[in-house]
Amino acid sequence: MNLKLNILIVEDEPIIADHIEQYVLDAGFNSVGITDSYTDAKRLIDDKHPDLMLLDINLGDGPDGVDLAHYINQTHKKPFIFITSNTDNKTLERVKLTNPSGFIIKPFKAKDIETQINLAWHSYSTQKENQQINFSDSFLVNDHFFIKDKHSLIKVNYADVLYAEACDNYSIIYTRQTKYVLSYPLKVVEEKLSPFHFFRTHRSFLVNLHHIEKVNPKEVIVNGKEIPVSENSRAELIQKLNLF
């Protein structure tokens, strides 16, 4: 018997939404509502505190299901599953950055809904029991920090970080070997890294001062990449550099 999880359904096609709700109820879960709006979905999430959300990607004009997923990651950190017919490469790349708990392609069967919900909740519950640490709560140990990656914690040395970039409501940390996508705005990353020789050159970029190779009038070069420097940041940046 399945747990009595409270499920929110975000779907812009009424007939499909009704089918999904019926599948949810038949599987023994509770439905806390159906909405086809990004704004209404945020309100329901804040008011109803669902255990898990089933998200369509296409929600008409304005923010879509992927944007809603980023909101969930930032504010509620609850599992969500995409149910969509959008499988183009651009959409999938956006979806990957949200780290969803599941992905169901339309058309689907009732068993698909039940199975994906159970798997998503099991994974979420396991992570809570193991008290996984996320970036905003990561602990600082001398010369490194840890980033959560699914079920693991990855050690990252401050010295290896080249720069961080803001992308909407999340951030990407770059090293020479790889990049790490974080479900937090650049301001949170800046608070963690600024004591370790990192500087905000631009509203969208945070750079490791030790990796700056060249300073031009309007940008710095880090690992061959041109990173913009705002006019307001340039004077402070020059003060932080060792000049002869």
How would DSSP label each residue in 93-123?
Answer: HHHHTT--SEEEESS--HHHHHHHHHHHHHH
Structure tokens at 176: 């020479």
| Alpha-carbon gap, residue 141 to 145, rounded angstroms | 6
Are 171 and 165 in contact by the 8 Å Cβ rule? The answer is yes
Are 127 and 114 in contact by the 8 Å Cβ rule? The answer is no
Are 7 and 31 in contact by the 8 Å Cβ rule? The answer is yes
Hey, what domains does the chain have and what are their CATH numbers? 6-129 (3.40.50.2300), 136-240 (2.40.50.1020)
| Alpha-carbon gap, residue 12 to 84, rounded angstroms | 11
Residue type, 143: D
pLDDT at position 142 is: 57
pLDDT at position 243 is: 65
| Alpha-carbon gap, residue 149 to 134, rounded angstroms | 9
Cis peptide before 63 (omega within 30 of 0): no
pLDDT at position 139 is: 44
Structure tokens at 4: 């009595």
Strand runs (DSSP E) across the chain, as ranges?
Answer: 6-10, 30-35, 52-55, 80-84, 102-105, 144-149, 152-157, 161-167, 170-175, 179-182, 198-202, 205-208, 212-215, 219-222, 225-228
Closest CA to 34 of 79, 78, 75, 83: 83
Task: Please give the distance of CA 180 from its chain centroid, rounded to a whole number.
Answer: 11
Q: Which residues have C-beta within 8 Å of that of residue 141, sequence separation ≥ 6?
A: none
Going by the DSSP 8-state scheme, the letter that residue 141 receives in this structure is B
Residue type, 178: T
Q: What is the pLDDT along the chain (244 residues), one digit of tens a residue?
A: 678 999 999 999 999 999 999 999 999 999 999 999 999 999 999 999 999 999 999 998 889 999 999 999 888 889 999 999 988 888 898 998 898 999 999 999 999 999 999 999 988 887 765 544 444 444 445 578 888 776 778 888 899 999 999 987 789 999 998 998 888 889 888 988 888 889 999 999 999 999 999 999 999 999 999 999 999 898 889 888 866 5
Using the Cα atoms of residue 212, residue 215, residue 220 and residue 224 in order, give the sign of their dihedral. Answer: negative
pLDDT at position 137 is: 46
